[in-house]
C-alpha cells in the first residue's frame, strides 16, 4: 500500500511538502536526520540541498513519501489529504474569481448569461467544498454578480434551498419574524427581499403562526399594573435573569426586551417598576392576548417616571 500511494501521489508534492514530510520523519526518529536520510535512501547532504534547489526530483519525492507512509501511515495520508484539499480550494477560488472578474467587466448580455451559468454550475458541483472553505468569498461574488445582472436586465436564478447554510438562515430569522408580523401572508415578498428560496421561508411559517396566531384587532382593554419603586440591583436582576416564557409571539419578546432595557437605563435613578409586578402583568397579558404597543408605551412611561 505505501508503495502504491507513493507512486500515485508523489507527483502532487512540492519541494516544501518534501521538506515538511522529511521534518516529520526526522522527528519520528528522535531528531536523527542521518537515519531519516538513510531510510529514505538519500544522502544527508541531499536533504540540505533541497532547501536551495528549485525543485526535488520525482524519484526523491517517492522515496520520502513511501518512507513516511511506512513509519506513520495515517499521519502521512492526512497530510496528503489536507494538501490536496488546499490545492483544490485554490484552483476553485481562482476559476470562480476569473469568471467573476470577466462578468463584472462585460457589458454583453449573452456573455454574462454564459458566465453566470458556468459560475452556478461550479457552485453546484463543489457546493460542499465552497460551504466548508470559501462560503463568504463566494457569497460576496454572488451579490456583486446579481447587481451586474440587474444592471444588464439579465434574470438571475433564485437560490435553491441547498444553497442556504444553517448559519445564513439563523442570521435572517429575526428579519423573517419582523416581516411576517407586518404581513403574515407575504412570504413570497419576504423570500424575494431577503434573497432566500421561497421553500425555506414557507417552511418557517407554521412555526411563526404558532408563536403569533392571527386574530382580531388588539384592543386597549389591558390593565396597567400598579407601579412601585425598587432598588437598582433588583431592576438589574429582573432585566438580566427573568426568563422569557415559551409561547410568547415575537413582538412580545421584543416588548419584554424593551422593558428590560428601560429598567437597566433608569435603574441608576431608582425610578423603575417592581419586577414582580411587571412579571405578573406579562403573565396576565399573555393569558388574554399579547400586550399592544400602546399599552407597552404607557407602561414604559410609568416606569421611566416612577409613577
Does a structural domain hold residue 137?
yes
User: In terms of domains, do 129 and 171 share one?
Assistant: no
Quick: pLDDT tens for 256-295. 444 555 444 444 444 444 444 555 555 555 555 544 544 5
- Are 270 and 232 in contact by the 8 Å Cβ rule? The answer is yes
User: In terms of domains, do 151 and 172 share one?
Assistant: no
Does a structural domain hold residue 145?
yes
Q: How many domains does the chain have?
A: 4
User: In terms of domains, do 207 and 243 share one?
Assistant: no
Quick: pLDDT tens for 7-50. 999 988 999 999 999 999 999 999 999 999 999 999 989 999 88
- Domain span at residue 266 reads 232-305
Does a structural domain hold residue 225?
no
pTM: 0.55
CA distances from 271 to 128, 226, 234 (A): 55, 14, 12
Does a structural domain hold residue 139?
yes
User: In terms of domains, do 67 and 114 share one?
Assistant: no
Does a structural domain hold residue 224?
no
User: In terms of domains, do 11 and 29 share one?
Assistant: yes
In whole numbers, what is the pLDDT of the chain averaged over residues?
A: 74
User: In terms of domains, do 167 and 123 share one?
Assistant: no
Domain C-terminal end among 211, 245, 278: 211
> Of 294, 224, 236, 243, whose CA–CA distance to 270 is shortest?
236
What is the rounded distance in angstroms from the CA atom of residue 305 to the CA atom of residue 42?
86
Domain C-terminal end among 157, 172, 201: 157
Does a structural domain hold residue 226?
no
Does a structural domain hold residue 101?
yes
The single-letter DSSP state of residue 269 is G
Which H or E run includes 279?
helix 275-288
Does a structural domain hold residue 130?
yes
Query: Residue 249: is its pLDDT beyond 50?
Result: no
Quick: pLDDT tens for 77-101. 999 999 999 999 999 999 999 999 9
Amino acid at each position: 500500500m505505501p508503495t502504491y500511494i507513493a507512486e500515485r501521489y508523489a507527483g502532487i508534492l512540492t519541494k516544501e511538502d518534501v521538506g515538511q514530510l522529511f521534518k516529520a520523519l526526522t522527528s519520528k526518529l528522535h531528531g536523527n536526520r542521518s537515519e531519516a536520510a538513510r531510510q529514505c535512501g538519500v544522502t544527508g547532504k541531499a536533504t540540505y540541498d533541497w532547501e536551495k534547489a528549485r525543485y526535488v526530483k520525482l524519484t526523491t519525492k517517492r522515496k520520502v513519501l513511501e518512507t513516511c507512509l511506512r513509519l506513520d501511515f495515517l499521519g502521512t495520508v492526512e497530510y496528503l489529504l489536507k494538501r490536496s484539499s488546499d490545492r483544490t480550494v485554490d484552483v476553485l477560488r481562482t476559476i470562480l474569481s476569473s469568471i467573476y472578474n470577466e462578468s463584472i467587466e462585460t457589458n454583453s448580455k449573452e456573455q454574462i448569461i454564459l458566465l453566470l451559468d458556468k459560475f452556478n454550475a461550479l457552485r453546484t458541483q463543489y457546493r460542499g467544498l465552497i460551504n466548508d472553505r470559501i462560503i463568504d468569498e463566494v457569497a460576496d461574488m454572488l451579490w456583486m454578480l446579481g447587481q451586474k445582472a440587474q444592471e444588464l436586465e439579465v434574470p438571475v436564478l433564485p437560490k435553491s434551498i441547498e444553497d442556504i447554510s444553517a448559519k445564513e438562515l439563523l442570521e435572517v430569522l429575526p428579519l423573517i419574524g419582523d416581516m411576517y408580523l407586518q404581513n403574515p401572508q407575504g412570504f413570497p415578498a419576504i423570500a424575494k427581499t431577503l434573497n432566500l428560496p421561497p421553500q425555506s421561508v414557507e417552511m418557517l411559517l407554521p412555526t411563526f403562526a404558532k408563536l403569533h396566531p392571527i386574530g382580531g384587532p388588539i384592543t386597549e382593554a389591558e390593565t396597567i399594573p400598579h407601579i412601585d419603586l425598587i432598588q437598582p440591583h433588583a431592576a438589574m436582576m429582573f432585566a438580566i435573569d427573568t426568563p422569557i416564557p415559551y409561547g410568547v409571539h415575537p413582538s412580545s419578546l421584543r416588548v419584554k426586551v424593551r422593558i428590560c432595557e428601560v429598567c437597566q437605563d433608569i435603574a441608576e435613578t431608582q425610578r423603575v417598576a417592581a419586577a414582580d409586578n411587571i412579571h405578573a402583568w406579562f403573565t396576565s397579558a399573555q393569558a388574554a392576548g399579547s400586550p399592544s404597543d400602546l399599552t407597552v408605551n404607557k407602561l414604559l412611561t410609568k416606569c421611566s417616571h416612577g409613577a
